[in-house]
Amino acid sequence: MINLKSEVDIEGIRNAGIIVRKVLNELSSITKPGIATMEYNSVCEEIAFSMNAVPAFKGYNGFPYSVCVSVNEEVVHGFPSKRRLREGDIVSIDFGSYYKDYYADAAITVSVGDISNKALKLMEITKEALNLGISKAVPGNKLNDISRIIEEYVVKNNFAVVRDFVGHGVGFKLHEDPQVPNYYIKDNDILLEEGLVIAIEPMVNEFGYKVKVKKNGWTVVTRDKGLSAHFEHTVAITKEGPQILT
């Protein structure tokens, strides 16, 4: 069931989103060769708790950490660890916060020092695909208008959209209806209405779209070992147009 949000709800989600943005900005700023990804977990918890928020991922369906850190061929749901980042890596950081009864969720992919031109293009295309998807998040459009523009842009630039993992509603819970695929499905023609809040999150692979889950039961990687990038915003659909809440 889709739960539309009031203006009060949207403001509450925006306040949770401010915390998400602060965390992601800080984690981006400390990213450099040699940092252990477990440090991201400590920093995000410190910031969230200092703002009276709770990291939304820890304990969610048993997920053991407060942030997802996915490096290179890892797509999503990577574990922070003692692994140290190296020059040329790309790292996707996904964080959600729970603050005063509301959830918000966002992700970024950042470079570690100098990266290859292909990795840079992958990041740029994924980020722009998110922006294009957001541009379609207006009342009167269909959900698959968002999906179509993301997929068309990614494919035009010779990359592949992940199909096994998708965006979602967010706000009262971390994951709500509707699902928001990043590829076009004709029958996914749900009407976008004022008050709908969704997490739009293209996950884009360097080569093929196929992925698999590692033995830890969480970390998703590309089957062909190509790179993957991930950008996400929590977005409210309003009569004034899309409002980015993160």
Task: Give 3-state DSSP helix, strand, coil % of the chain, rounded to 5.
Answer: 30, 30, 40
220-222-223 Cα angle (round to 5): 115
Cβ(227)–Cβ(72) below 8 Å: yes
Cβ(124)–Cβ(35) below 8 Å: no
Residue labelled with tokens 């797509």? 75
CA distance 21 to 79: 20
Cβ(150)–Cβ(129) below 8 Å: yes
Residue 205, pLDDT score = 99
Q: 6-56 pLDDT, tens per residue?
A: 999 999 999 999 999 999 999 999 999 999 999 999 999 999 999 999 999
Q: 58-89 pLDDT, tens per residue?
A: 999 999 999 999 999 999 999 999 999 999 99
Token pair for residue 57? 């991922």
Residue 116, pLDDT score = 98
Q: Which of 89, 72, 92 is nearest to 33 (CA)?
A: 89
CA distance 55 to 98: 6
Residue 128, pLDDT score = 99
Residue 210, pLDDT score = 98
Average pLDDT of the residues in 208-235? 98
Residue 167, pLDDT score = 98
Average pLDDT of the residues in 83-104? 98
Phi, psi of 97 (to 5 degrees): -125, 150
Burial class for 226, CB neighbours closer than 10 Å (0-12, 13-18, 19+): middle
Residue 95, pLDDT score = 99
Cβ(116)–Cβ(34) below 8 Å: no
DSSP state of 153: H
Residue 91, pLDDT score = 99
CB atoms within 10 A of CB 24: 22
Cβ(204)–Cβ(160) below 8 Å: yes
CA distance 76 to 205: 11
Q: 186-202 pLDDT, tens per residue?
A: 988 999 999 999 999 99
Residue type (1 letter), 175: H
List the binding residues: 77, 94, 105, 168, 175, 201, 232
List the binding residues for a divalent metal cation: 94, 105, 168, 201, 232
List the binding residues for substrate: 77, 175
Burial class for 7, CB neighbours closer than 10 Å (0-12, 13-18, 19+): exposed
Task: Specify the DSSP element, H or E, that contains 42.
Answer: helix 38-50
7-244: CATH topology is Creatine Amidinohydrolase (3.90.230)
Q: 115-168 pLDDT, tens per residue?
A: 999 999 999 999 999 999 999 999 999 999 999 999 999 999 999 999 999 999
Average pLDDT of the residues in 92-103? 99
Residue 12, pLDDT score = 99
